[in-house]
Amino acid sequence: MLHFGASLRLIGRPPNVNLPGDNSGGAIGDIPGDNAAASEYNGLNFLDRAPQPHQSASLLKNSVLTIGILGGMGPQAGIDLATKIVSETDASIDQDHIPVILYGHPGIPDRTAFLFGKTSLNPAIAIASGLEKLSLAGADVAGIACNTAHSPSIIGEVGRLLDEAGCDLKILHLIGETVRALTILLPNVKRVGVLGTKGTLKFRLYDEPLEKTGIAVIHPKDLDALNGAIFDPGYGMKGFSSPVSEKARKNVLRAVDDVIEQGAEAVILGCTELPLAVSGDYRAGIPLIDPGQVLARALVSAAAPDRLRPPRVPLTSVE
């Protein structure tokens, strides 16, 4: 998958973009010149409940923070994010790495089932509880290793519950980070394929912020096959993620090929399981974007900006 870099010191959102369910707007910070923009990217897209940008920037400048990961929404989701945090940290000895606390919470109710009304139990309750535990354990900034959990009806309630509990844990927004990274690093891309759960696609979690930047969104035609690759009890990645079954891998690759054939100039693998089934940064010359990789880099940047590795894929190769 495409590995985004990090040196545009931004806190906010892409120009004229609101996250789904967010009416507050918010402009990005000053962008350095073209040379700096071409070298690396660093966006910190906090949920609205987090401190104001100047407060966060001051905090991040003066100390190494502890990263919290809320996993369990997919058995490999949190582990995969933790691995990517390590890979994105510029370290030569143990002591160069960043403190990370991973809480794998498999008891979080299914996000897609909630969005489609199959259960009235909002996963936000368990998610907020897990984030509180991370905060109590010492996490300063956290990421939620699930795309569908960033639906407004879930993530908005998470923020409300954390505020109600007086929890000041700072949370980076997975989808906001991914959209900003794409719009900054691939400014010429105007058609993006989005893969994900039926909840992510049906409720347009990526579509709305991308469309507000003028980017057209393309979904795969066979959503049932893609959904099977994630959820099917016989071969899906929820149960068979290490290794991924051959049928699941083929279904995911067919979905990637489908959106590319429809004209996608980049593809977002918008479910934490999907990157497990795809190897490489490109497919038929089209960049593949792993939101987990974007979030990992943003978390490293938030915790210790000077320890973020340079991007491994030259941006000039994808412009």
* DSSP secondary structure letter of residue 88: T
List residues with catalytic annotation. Answer: 146, 271
* Spatial distance between the Cα atoms of 39 and 23, rounded to a whole number of angstroms: 32
Q: How many residues does the chain have?
A: 319
For the stretch 215-219, contacts whose Cβ atoms lie closer than 8 Å and that sit 24 or more positions apart, written own/partner, are: 215/182, 215/183, 215/189, 215/190, 215/191, 216/190, 216/191, 216/192, 217/191, 217/192, 217/193, 218/191, 218/192, 218/193, 218/194, 218/259, 218/262, 218/263, 218/264, 219/193, 219/194, 219/259
Q: In this structure, what are the phi and psi dihedrals at residue 38, rounded to the nearest 5 degrees?
A: -80, -10
Extract the runs of DSSP E, i.e. beta strands, from 161-272.
170-172, 191-195, 216-218, 266-269
Quote the DSSP letter at residue 282.
E
